[in-house]
Homo-oligomer: A and B are copies of this chain.
Amino acid sequence: MVQVSIIGVGHTRFGRLPERSVDLMRSAITEALSDADVSPERIDAVWVANFSDAFDGQCHLAAVAASLLGRCIQAQRVESACASGGLAFKEAARAVESGRFRTVLVVGVEKMASASPGLAVRLLAGAASPDEIAQGASFPGLYAMIARAHFERFGTTSEQLAHIAVKNHEHALMNPLAQFAKPLSVEDVLKSRPVASPLHLLDCSPLSDGAAALVLSAESTAQAPRVLGLGHVAAEISLAARADICTMDAVKEAGALAYSEAGIGPGDIDVAELHDCFTIAELVQFEDLGFCAKGEGGPRLASGSNRLGGDLPINASGGLKAKGHPVGATGVSQVVEVVRQLRGCCGQRQVESADMALCCNIGGSGSSAVVSILGR
């Protein structure tokens, strides 16, 4: 099997960018190609990650990407709700591993910050099961049910969740591409307006515009981080049909596959980007990926050991919560961040001795997940 290296990365600013359109894709692609020092002609295939065409009305991004490159090329869009970016990365990496392609491009994009609140609410709820949609479930409402179950079963508290938001905002202060450069206190989070009890506004990631891109290659260089393990799983979509809503089976299984492929365990990870669409989501993934035992995520994440400088920094980029969450770009952005951490070029937010990194990108209420392990 061919070893896959990430030889180029590109990343626009995340945030409310009303003046930008799909040209966000162009910016991220141009930067990634330049970073990799490869011309568009060297690209053999393209994977585009995007959540919903309903945001900006562009329904054929594969052909848009081919046109941006000025090429007749294998280009395809993939989607698995908020895990679309991770999925594109996984599919592209598998294609290089198979020996079919030498150099491929991955780009994730979403233009959603200008969507009407009604449209955004409807589309994000659309990642739920048909029954949940029919019953009027909302995206925060589903995560609120997970949080409530976690509180009841393990004694997790709103304060503990608030610490996650505080940590990620603190990290985003050191990321010039992040949507928010605004420190938060635990009190700020707890006093923010309730969205779906027990989740407050500041437990939730924002609506964002942005794009991120990667160049993967079968040719490795000494400096280029390598793909060590990948896991991708879709599982039961409906919360009501799950044995235990405090556990995301897709995350657990995808994590196990990725660890097994990499031949390592959670204790070997130096830096991780988890999918904190809501604070409770980061907590559940932290447990399901084996960074602590089930139920212990609340106290652990509130302890400070996952802040920059701690034992295992989580979301040094600011995470979805503070860096922003342009859905299709998010999974790609996570990989861009850990590539930069592994290269050691993250400046103020650099994690020391970062040799092994993990990204976890999930879709919907955790019914699909892609876990990627990279090393240098």
Cα–Cα distance between A103 and B94 once the two chains are bound (Å) = 17
B237→A57 contact, CB < 8 A? no
- A residues contacting B by CB (< 8 A) are 21-22, 46, 51-54, 57-60, 62-67, 70-81, 87, 91, 94-95, 97-100, 122-124, 126-130, 133, 232-238, 241, 249-250, 253, 363-364, 367-368
A81 contacts across to B, CB distance below 8 A: 59-60, 62-63
Cα–Cα distance between A81 and B78 once the two chains are bound (Å) = 12
Cα–Cα distance between A77 and B368 once the two chains are bound (Å) = 12
Cα–Cα distance between A87 and B330 once the two chains are bound (Å) = 24
Q: Which listed residue, B63, B97, B236, touches A364 by the CB 8 Å rule?
A: B63
A52→B53 contact, CB < 8 A? yes
Looking across the interface, which residue of chain B has its beta carbon closest to that of A99? B98
Nearest chain B CB to A186's CB is how many angstroms away? Answer: 33
A129 contacts across to B, CB distance below 8 A: 63-64, 67
Q: Which listed residue, B53, B80, B122, B130, touches A77 by the CB 8 Å rule?
A: B80
Cα–Cα distance between A99 and B97 once the two chains are bound (Å) = 11
A364 contacts across to B, CB distance below 8 A: 60, 63
Of A67, A76, A128, A232, most buried by chain B (CB within 10 Å of CB) is A76
Q: Which listed residue, B76, B87, B130, touches A22 by the CB 8 Å rule?
A: B130
Cα–Cα distance between A59 and B73 once the two chains are bound (Å) = 27
Cα–Cα distance between A59 and B81 once the two chains are bound (Å) = 6
A368 contacts across to B, CB distance below 8 A: 60, 62-63, 66, 75
B52→A76 contact, CB < 8 A? no
A123 contacts across to B, CB distance below 8 A: 53, 59
Cα–Cα distance between A74 and B66 once the two chains are bound (Å) = 27
A237→B64 contact, CB < 8 A? yes
Looking across the interface, which residue of chain B has its beta carbon closest to that of A67? B237
Nearest chain B CB to A101's CB is how many angstroms away? Answer: 10
Smallest CB-CB A-B distances: 6 pairs: A59-B126, A66-B234, A98-B98, A63-B367, A75-B234, A63-B237
